[in-house]
Amino acid sequence: MKFISTRGETSPLGFSDAVATGLAPDGGLFLPAELPRISAADLTAWRDLAYPGLCVAFLRRFATDIDEPTFAAIVARSYAHFDHPEIAPLVPLADNLQVLELFHGPTLAFKDFALQLLGNLYEHQCRSRHQSINVLGATSGDTGAAAIHGLLGKPGTAIFILYPDGRVAPLQERQMTCTGAANVYAMAIEGSFDDAQDALKEIFADQAFRTQHRLSAVNSINLARVLAQCVYYLSAWLRVPVAQQDNVEFVVPTGNFGNVLAGWFLQRMGVPIRGFRVATNQNDILHRLFTTGNYQVDTVAPSVAPSMDIQVASNFERFLYYHEGRDPARVREIMATFKSTGTYRFEHFDADTFSATRCVDAEIPVIIKSVYDRYGYVVDPHTACAFAAPDPDRLSVVLATAHPAKFPETIKRAIGHEPRHPSLEVLKARPIVKHAVAANAGAIRTFIDQHAV
Ligand SMILES: *Cc1c(COP(=O)(O)O)cnc(C)c1O
């Protein structure tokens, strides 16, 4: 299978090259040239597979340039460090409400699903080409931690993660800075997540620098992330009661549109998912988009759900490509307008399987308490946003994107006690190692020049 850019000005690449490249050279995002069809027979055949087997069966349709035993071994390694035998367990709370727990990976957030896999894919790429790779990403919290744990100590790799100093949760910072691994550089920058993202875009636009250091992106735009995330939607859909399978609405806490996009791909490939609810925090560009057709940046208001404190939803461009009839010239035009004016107004914004809710900060502890009182279940502040307005006529499958123990202050405020997790207790005793760097591309480039492998 070949992968094309949303902006149509990059030659199609195979899976491994598209994954290693990250952002397409024309500034667009990689997509499969054709989405494969998932048939009813496939779904039947996949019903009883355990998570890694399902992952191999599904991703084999895309990763056609890696032989099957090698690929199966990569997948097995990627899900070996999860602390639940089902990897992504589905927990029923009521007849029409289930929670898909995506926090059993090494950093206790859903991003481990993709970034454990991505780390092993990079390692495979380095080995098979006898090359080193330098990975660069910006994070508002969980991405950095998950990316770092995907590459921890892997030979031939170094990872540079930019994060807004003082604006990620303390335990998230510890997950990035207390690893003790020599190939990890946690870079605390002065500014917001979007400042970090802007600097990163500028660096990736510098082709010579990219080539010199074999730089790869590891934010939520990497193709492998979206594809890996499809698998837990598929796994959940296969596990809901058969009588409810045609009435499933996934409720997805999102900022970048990365998570929910994966579910939507699956629907396009033929899995009969009823709909998706996009659940934002007070940084609600996606809520405004889906309720008014207006895509407009605003300033970021830091919230108690910091991994969704984003105003530019970088994965939205992939959805846009399909929305605009797979016309890269239209995508270029819209993205250029959006970039220069900060806004794009869709005349006919047709997204019928999507609905949206938003949650301001004051509501989050209230929801955490009411979910706890009603079901005896503790949700983290991001997942809480998904409980804002349940639809009683659907089977809501809420994606629990992080373990509550990552956000002890907010949880304690809501229900009076702090949840704990053993892996976080270990981190609290370790020293923090971080590198303070100015939020400009020049300073970041200099740092990478000094430390790249
Ligand atoms: C990253 C993250 C999100 C948002 O994910 P998107 O890629 O923006 O969809 C939500 N919750 C948690 C806990 C996260 O780490």
Task: Give the DSSP letter string of 319-335.
Answer: HHHHHTTT-HHHHHHHH
Residue 167 lies inside a defined structural domain of this protein? no
Q: Which residue has the least CA distance to atom 15 on ligand 1?
A: 142
Q: Which residue has the least CA distance to atom 4 on ligand 1?
A: 254
Each residue's pLDDT tens digit, 365-397: 999 999 999 999 999 999 999 999 888 899 999
At 219 the pLDDT is 66
Question: Is residue 381 within 6 Å of ligand 1 at its C-beta?
Answer: no
Question: Is residue 406 within 6 Å of ligand 1 at its C-beta?
Answer: no
449: tokens are: 């020049």
At 92 the pLDDT is 97
Read off the CATH number of the domain in which 351 is found: 3.40.50.1100
Report the nearest atom of ligand 1 relative to the CA of 146. Answer: 15
Cα(372)–Cα(366) distance, integer angstroms = 10
Each residue's pLDDT tens digit, 341-371: 999 988 777 778 999 999 999 999 999 999 9
Cα(394)–Cα(378) distance, integer angstroms = 22
Each residue's pLDDT tens digit, 165-187: 988 888 889 999 999 999 999 99
At 189 the pLDDT is 93
Residue 201: pLDDT over 70: yes
Q: What is the mean pLDDT of the chain?
A: 93
Q: Which of 113, 121, 117 is nearest to 14 (CA)?
A: 121
Q: How far is CA 52 from CA 59, 113, 235, 358, in A?
A: 10, 11, 10, 34
Residue 251 lies inside a defined structural domain of this protein? yes
Where in the sequence is the domain holding 286, given as residue range(s)?
A: 90-106+224-421
Name the more confident of 402 and 207.
402
At 352 the pLDDT is 80
Residue 220: pLDDT over 80: no
Is residue 186 a contact partner of residue 177, using CB atoms and an 8 Å limit?
A: yes
Report the nearest atom of ligand 1 relative to the CA of 383. Answer: 11
Residue 379 lies inside a defined structural domain of this protein? yes
Phi then psi dihedrals of residue 408, to 5 deg: -60, -35
Q: Which of 173, 158, 444 is nearest to 307 (CA)?
A: 173
Q: Which stretch of 34-38, 227-231, 427-431 has the lowest confidence by average pLDDT?
A: 427-431
Cα(280)–Cα(118) distance, integer angstroms = 26
Report the nearest atom of ligand 1 relative to the CA of 257. Answer: 9
123: tokens are: 């390692």
Strand duo 157-164 + 184-189: pairing:
parallel
Residue 199: pLDDT over 70: yes
pTM of the predicted structure, to 2 decimals:
0.93
Band of pLDDT at residue 217, cut at 50, 70 and 90: confident
Mean pLDDT of 250-267: 94
At 142 the pLDDT is 79
Those residues with Cβ within 8 angstroms of residue 282's Cβ, 6 or more apart along the chain or in another chain: 301, 303, 358, 359, 360, 361
Is residue 308 a contact partner of residue 315, using CB atoms and an 8 Å limit?
A: no
Is residue 447 a contact partner of residue 160, using CB atoms and an 8 Å limit?
A: yes
* Range of 3-12, 18-27, 310-319 with top mean pLDDT: 3-12
Name the more confident of 198 and 59.
59
Band of pLDDT at residue 400, cut at 50, 70 and 90: very high
Residue 43: pLDDT over 80: yes
Determine the Cα angle at 212 with ends 211 and 214, to 5°: 55
Is residue 250 a contact partner of residue 276, using CB atoms and an 8 Å limit?
A: yes
Determine the Cα angle at 117 with ends 284 and 77, to 5°: 145
Question: Is residue 220 within 6 Å of ligand 1 at its C-beta?
Answer: yes
Q: Which of 331, 364, 346 is nearest to 253 (CA)?
A: 364
Name the more confident of 79 and 17.
79
Residue 69 lies inside a defined structural domain of this protein? no
Mean pLDDT of 20-30: 89
Residue 66 lies inside a defined structural domain of this protein? no
154 annotated active-site:
no
Residue 38 lies inside a defined structural domain of this protein? no
Ligand 1 pocket test, pick from 118, 252, 259, 380 with the greatest ligand atom count within 8 Å of Cβ, gives: 259
Residue 374 lies inside a defined structural domain of this protein? yes
Band of pLDDT at residue 231, cut at 50, 70 and 90: very high
Each residue's pLDDT tens digit, 78-106: 999 999 999 999 999 999 999 999 999 99
Q: Into how many domains does the chain fold?
A: 1
Mean pLDDT of 54-68: 97
Cα(90)–Cα(142) distance, integer angstroms = 22
Question: Is residue 365 within 6 Å of ligand 1 at its C-beta?
Answer: no
Is residue 401 a contact partner of residue 387, using CB atoms and an 8 Å limit?
A: no
Cα(111)–Cα(30) distance, integer angstroms = 19
Give kind and range of the element (H or E) at residue 172.
helix 170-177
- Output helix, strand, coil percentages for the chain, rounded to the nearest 5: 45, 15, 40
Question: Is residue 258 within 6 Å of ligand 1 at its C-beta?
Answer: yes
Question: Is residue 226 within 6 Å of ligand 1 at its C-beta?
Answer: no
Could you count the other beta carbons within 10 Å of the beta carbon of residue 127? Answer: 12
Name the more confident of 44 and 27.
44
Question: Is residue 111 within 6 Å of ligand 1 at its C-beta?
Answer: yes
CA of 108 to the centre of ligand 1 (A): 12
Residue 273 lies inside a defined structural domain of this protein? yes
Cα(389)–Cα(108) distance, integer angstroms = 25
Is residue 448 a contact partner of residue 160, using CB atoms and an 8 Å limit?
A: yes
Residue 331: pLDDT over 90: yes
